[in-house]
A = this chain, B = another copy of it.
Amino acid sequence: MNFQSHNEGRVASRGGILAAADRIAAIVTRTPLLPVPATGGRVWIKAESLQLGGAFKLRGAYNRLAQIAPEQRAAGVVAFSSGNHAQGVARAAGLLGMPAVIVMPADAPTVKLDATKALGAQIVLYDRRSESRERIAAALAAERGAVLVPSFDDVDVIEGQGTVGLEIADQLGRAPAQIIVPCGGGGLSAGIALAVPDTQVVVAEPEGWDDMTRSLAAGEILEVAADAPATSCDALQTMRVADRTFTALATAGAHGAAASEAQIHAAMRYAFGLGLVVEPGGAAALAVWLAGTVPAKEGDTVIVCSGSNVDPQAYARIIG
């Protein structure tokens, strides 16, 4: 079984992110950096919600899969995910001609389940409360000799996601003062922190699921409480961040902020007014910005909207 990354021991770095950018350039969409009206040209939205597959995940997944040795590709890949990583891995596998098995919770949004199937992946469902997705995925990978692709705890995945940070600095023509990023396991935010070392990174999480925020404040990893409240942010429901994402963010001096459900929904409505469909988890950074929880800084503020995969009925309820 290949549970560990092939470059276990190597640490994610800006150099690795530059190499990832070259590797994925022909595959991923260079998503737009859009000005937020009436902010004097100092606040921008990085609309990664318009990425192929509707989220940033393709960047890390393709960067990881493209580095699997050709002789190992036939055995395929295994991943577990509530949805966006699933789609990223399924699409990357399809592009590289590799079989993919994705372990998904039975209560994942239908739109995410359907899209993953449509990309040609085999889906294995599990019960979030009684089964361990890690154990199911590890057993599947062992059985097939397939590579297990983690959703955030992996050097190549973090470096792939970090290309979002390179693009922001390139599109802006300068490093922004701060970038606010939705955070589940921390792959995207850690990658961005490594990509633009002179920028303040602020992670945004749903209330009760703000474990990275609390971990950064405490200087050690703290888990999500077992009785954490319900949240519409299915993409950000990670019980524990990884040593490597936490360390990258802590070393960069990142801090965090939490958004209420009402603030998340208000942010989704605001994004709608700009023409952007943003899913709840993808709107967490915009939510803490609009709520004033994260103050303005001298210079540019960039808000990452990280995904758009939301069931239409749920979206209609929130918008209408």
**Copies of this chain, tallied across the complex:** 2
A47 contacts across to B, CB distance below 8 A: 32, 50, 275
A81 to chain B, nearest CB (A): 19
Q: Does A252 contact B (CB under 8 A)?
A: no
Of residues 300 through 320 on chain A, the ones whose CB sits less than 8 Å from some CB of chain B are 308, 312-313, 315-317, 319-320
Q: How far is the CA of A211 from the CA of B111 in the complex (A)?
A: 38
Q: Does A242 contact B (CB under 8 A)?
A: no
Partner of A320, one of B31, B52, B308, B316: B316
A51 to chain B, nearest CB (A): 8
Q: Is the CB of B269 within 8 A of A312?
A: yes
Q: Is the CB of B319 within 8 A of A50?
A: no
Interface string of A118-132 (1 = CB under 8 A from B): 000000000000000
Q: How far is the CA of A52 from the CA of B44 in the complex (A)?
A: 12
Partner of A35, one of B29, B49, B54: B29
Partner of A275, one of B50, B273, B316, B317: B50
Partner of A276, one of B31, B37, B50, B111: B50
Q: How large is the interface on A (under 10, 10 to 19, 20 to 34, 35 or more residues)?
A: 20 to 34
Of residues 269 through 320 on chain A, the ones whose CB sits less than 8 Å from some CB of chain B are 269, 272-278, 308, 312-313, 315-317, 319-320
Partner of A54, one of B53, B275, B312: B275
Q: Is the CB of A49 within 8 A of B320?
A: no
Of residues 212 through 245 on chain A, the ones whose CB sits less than 8 Å from some CB of chain B are none
Extra 12 A-B pairs, beta carbons < 8 Å, given A47-B50, A54-B275: A29-B32, A29-B35, A32-B32, A37-B53, A47-B275, A54-B273, A111-B273, A275-B278, A275-B308, A276-B277, A277-B277, A315-B316
Q: List 10 A-B pairs, minimum CB-CB distance, nearest first.
A: A316-B320, A275-B308, A316-B316, A32-B32, A49-B275, A275-B277, A312-B319, A50-B275, A313-B320, A316-B319
